[in-house]
Amino acid sequence: MAYYFSTKLKNLTFKDAIVRTTEALKSEGFGVLTDIDMKATLKNKLNVDFYNYKILGACNPSLAYNALQEEDKIGTMLPCNVIVQEKEKGIIEVTAVDPAASMQAVDNEKLISVAYTVSEKLKKVIQKIQDND
């Protein structure tokens, strides 16, 4: 089982890909709680050059609440990470974690049901991003 969903975009700037991704997340009820700029972080901490790479920590509050009601330690797997990266100039890849894959390790059927709901929403996010390209 793959642990992510992904799409590649062309003819879009990295900044525009971030905006498109954030808007697609919002359309499925997710907000972005964290925005980690790995390129800047690696430059600042290690003085190394890296390509454009952002980690967006996405959260759908009602689904997160449902998950926390079923499993109080599930916060270790929240929020759902979505990465936007540009390894090659002009080719942006957007990748979302598949929470259903990662939560298979938790022995809780009710939680797995919530995870599948989140997975379906994240698949829709990736599809929306792809459809706009």
Tell me the C-alpha distance between 27 and 125, whole Å.
8
Q: pLDDT band for position 1 (50/70/90)?
A: low
10-54 pLDDT, tens digit per residue, is: 989 999 999 999 999 999 999 999 999 999 999 999 999 999 999
Please give the model's pTM, rounded to 2 decimal places: 0.93
Domain count along the chain: 1
Return the pLDDT at 11: 86
| Tokens, residue 62 | 């009602």
Q: Spell out the residues 6+ positions from residue 49 whose beta carbon is closer than 8 angstroms to its own.
A: 42, 43
47-86 pLDDT, tens digit per residue, is: 999 999 999 999 999 999 999 999 999 999 999 999 999 9
Structural domain range at position 110: 4-131
Return the pLDDT at 116: 93
Query: Which CATH number goes with the domain that contains 73?
Result: 3.30.310.70
40-44, 64-68, 94-98, 105-109, range with the lowest pLDDT? 105-109
Tell me the C-alpha distance between 80 and 58, whole Å.
5
